[in-house]
Structure 1
Amino acid sequence: MKKEINQEQEFLFGKKNYIIMLIGIVFITLGFIFMSGGGSDDPNVFNEEIYNWQRIRLAPTLVIIGLGIEIYAILVDPKK
């Protein structure tokens, strides 16, 4: 005789994990948006805007914070 075992599919992560992952993705996306731009239309003219604090300090910090949030979202226990 064959026993039919009806196993219900479970997600790997819980709702809490996915919410935290979404927050991390928002941080990473904002970091890359802040990094964009600052170029010059004319290649013979140098634009100093490429070295402002937003592109040098803020954007990489947001990306690193976002990656840290993603790692935390993966490691947090969804059952708590």
Structure 2
Amino acid sequence: MSDKSKFAFEKVNYIIMLIGVLTLVVGFFIMSSDGEPYGFGFLGLTLGPIVVMLGFIIEFVAIFYKPKKNSEAESK
């Protein structure tokens, strides 16, 4: 039997994904907290979407990030 994990990603990937999801939630909260009608203020049109886009970029990084393996751990 192989010693491979049953999960698709490492623990680091899941931590980065959690940070990305929290960033997305913060971005949507910023957009919804805009006081202008229909969200047409700075928060709803500029800052919120930038934070949401940053959250999606963090998610892509979490998916494509490949942690380096220790040569010491592989020899065991």
Superposition TM-score tier, normalisation by shorter sequence:
0.7 to 0.9
Unaligned runs of 5+ in 2: 70-76
Structure with greater Cα Rg:
1
The alignment covers a number of residue pairs equal to 68
Identity of aligned residues (%): 40
Aligned to 1:18: 14
TM-score after normalising by structure 2: 0.73
List gaps (5 residues or longer) in structure 1: 1-5, 40-46
For 2:28, the aligned partner's letter is F
Q: What TM-score does the superposition give when structure 1 sets the normalisation length?
A: 0.70
Q: Distance in 2 between matches of 1:68 and 1:53?
A: 22
Higher RCO, Cα 8 Å, sep 6+: 1
Alignment match of 1:77 (pick from 29, 48, 66): 66
Q: CA RMSD in A?
A: 2.3
